[in-house]
Structure 1
Amino acid sequence: MVSGNSRQLTSFGGFVANIRLALRDWDHLVPVATGNVRPEGFELDLESRAVTPDVLAEPGLDGGETSFSRYVLGRAMGDDRLVGLPVFVMRGFRHRCVLVRRDSELTSLEELKGARVGLTGWPDSGNTWTRALLRAAGVDLGGVTWTVGPLVAGETGKDRTGPLPFPENVSLTGDGLAEGLAAGRYDAIMTPFMPAEFFTGESRFRHLLPDHRAAELAYYRRTGFVPGIHLVTLKRESFERHPWLPRAVQDLFERSKRHWLARRRLLADTTPWLLDDLTSTARTFGEDWMPYGTAPNTAMTAAFCEELHAQGISPRRITAEEVFDQ
């Protein structure tokens, strides 16, 4: 447990609340987990999870890490049991997430027109952003033959389908996509996680884009944001019981993020070239490449909502204002 002052009174006149959140162990949250950054005005039980928690399915949780698409789709369908915080604990470019065989002749998104593509989930936030890249490159998603399945056969515990029926050109498989790509059943696959062999010199796979970093930088300069994948949500009953909680959690995680960055810049020898990466990141994005708050995330949220609707995942076009309307 990470605690504030247990005898401190809140501005609402009651003793400090005990809040329970579940998230994966992101580096920028480690200062909270270790107690180096502490909550102010409340006690926090921060649980580290191996996979993204289903906040609504766990009665003991006040909130936690939630898929951006799952949250937005809930709002679009009138489900407001979760209150989203503009605290994106996971965000990242998706150009790197398209893999092909090492001997493939494909080197661009445009070349995926009419291709056979496997992906690890249909409504997923990350795959939605990746398909958006294809749309921007002029690829008709309706002309692609999509297969949804696990990266490795036997993987479970993930909703790969979402609440709406698949389009006609999308099918489901239980076979591993990585082996399917290696066997030539797919021209490319989309995955947020790299196959284990990708980190070896003998990998059968490579990124579709020869210089995905350059493509990602161009994307950032064009859009002004790094795509949000997962955010923090609170159960509505917890929010209504503690209306000050969203701001308190956002402030806590902001302090944790800044503490983590300061320490990494000082203790940069955790990987051979981390210092160089930290330096280039700061020079490209400024002091904060993953800002929290509604205003700095409005354009990104609006773009994501538009993609969910344009790709037929959301039943209606939802606005950025609705997403964070408590």
Structure 2
Amino acid sequence: MQQPEIRLGLRDWDHLTPLLSGAVPTPGWSLRLDLRKVTPDVLTESVLDGGETSFSRYAQARAAGDDRLVGLPAFVMRGFRHRCVLVRRDSPFTSLLELKDARIGLTGWPDSGNTWTRALLRGAGVDLAGIQWRVGPLVEGESGKDRLGSRPLPANVSAMADGTSLQEELAAGRLDAVFTPFMPTEMFTAHSRFRHLLADHRAAERDYLAATGFVPGIHLVTLKRETVRAHPWLPAAVLDALDKSKRHWVERRRLLADTTPWLLDELLDTARRFDGGDWMPYGEDANAPMVRAFCEELHAQGVWPEPVDPSVLFPSHPPAPAPAL
């Protein structure tokens, strides 16, 4: 019998390399990773069986009763958000609280990462309703994505005009700060017009970890419902493959750490702060506090009109046996 081939659309995260190289096999089935520059729209691509999906958009869909995607508790994109707040180099702002009543640009209103970043402002005591929010691309000409979502926007949120960009509006002084998950190219130069709002964002992120116990999840892996119906064993098998790939990648990086000047120190520090070094655990139980906090933020920020029940995101199913070799 021919092995089933499962095709997933994902970005080229380092921890997927063992799956791409074949170092982590998938006995009894074939996994094909279709690497993308941007997060795919899994439902509209007939060639995909699943792939990387926005946590926010998935949670909203499940809250609305849309179960066309089956989410796996595997957050392939995670990250602290304190580093994602940029200001001009000459800005007087140095703290989250100082952004009260500011003009802030961001790359997408319902986006998972920006939802987590707005949560930092709420945690600092900033009223989100007092901010003038502008939504647009970080760089002019950046690929058009759904930046506004399908729900009505709050009155203090507006889209930027065509032909404008967040980084140029910030540089011109028409914005006080920008929320972005990806850094402008010039941030990696000695003459950038921008800087992080928090001079020691790493210390702030450590404090956040100590307070919450998690690193925010941004994107997760989903499978199409019809694919799961055809292969009931698949969710458990994909989750296992992703976990083995991640662990294999960490083991190799600990051995071959000379890919950045101080990677070894980062790996040692991570191992000390996270039990064994797994800062991006997979599984429902390991992610329950983070998932619950995110669902609360979706409602508190008005991204979703009603409280989101975390249990609808990963409905439990009895494990099915994997295909025989």
How does the TM-score come out when normalised to structure 1?
Answer: 0.94
Which deviations, in whole Å up to 9, do the C-alpha atoms of 1:272-316 show, x marking residues without a partner? 111111111111112211000000101100100010011111132
Which deviations, in whole Å up to 9, do the C-alpha atoms of 1:244-279 show, x marking residues without a partner? 111100110111001100100111111111111111
Instruction: Map 1:45-194 onto structure 2 (within 5 A).
Output: 45-173=32-160, 174=162, 175-194=164-183
Instruction: Map 1:176-325 onto structure 2 (within 5 A).
Output: 176-287=165-276, 288-325=278-315
Q: Do 2:63 and 2:309's aligned partners in 1 also have CA atoms closer than 8 Å? A: no
Indicate the SS of the match to 2:35: strand
Separation in 1, partners of 2:294, 2:205 = 17
How does the TM-score come out when normalised to structure 2?
Answer: 0.95
Q: CA deviation at 1:16?
A: 3.0
Which deviations, in whole Å up to 9, do the C-alpha atoms of 1:144-163 show, x marking residues without a partner? 00000000111123110011
For 2:195, give the aligned amino acid. Answer: R
Indicate the SS of the match to 1:89: strand
Indicate the SS of the match to 1:160: coil
Question: Which runs of no fewer than 5 residues in structure 1 stay unpaired?
Answer: 1-6, 8-14
Q: CA deviation at 1:41?
A: 2.2
Structure 1 equivalent of residue 322 of structure 2: none
Q: CA deviation at 1:318?
A: 1.4
In the TM superposition, structure 1's runs of 4+ consecutive aligned residues that sit over 6 Å from their partners are none
Percent of aligned pairs with the same residue? 67
Separation in 2, partners of 1:153, 1:223 = 36
RMSD over equivalenced CA pairs, Å = 0.9
Question: Which runs of no fewer than 5 residues in structure 2 stay unpaired?
Answer: 317-325
Separation in 1, partners of 2:5, 2:144 = 29
Q: CA deviation at 1:169?
A: 0.4
Indicate the SS of the match to 1:239: helix
For 1:122, give the aligned amino acid. Answer: W
Indicate the SS of the match to 1:90: strand
Structure 2 equivalent of residue 3 of structure 1: none
Q: CA deviation at 1:18?
A: 1.4
Separation in 2, partners of 1:157, 1:269 = 37
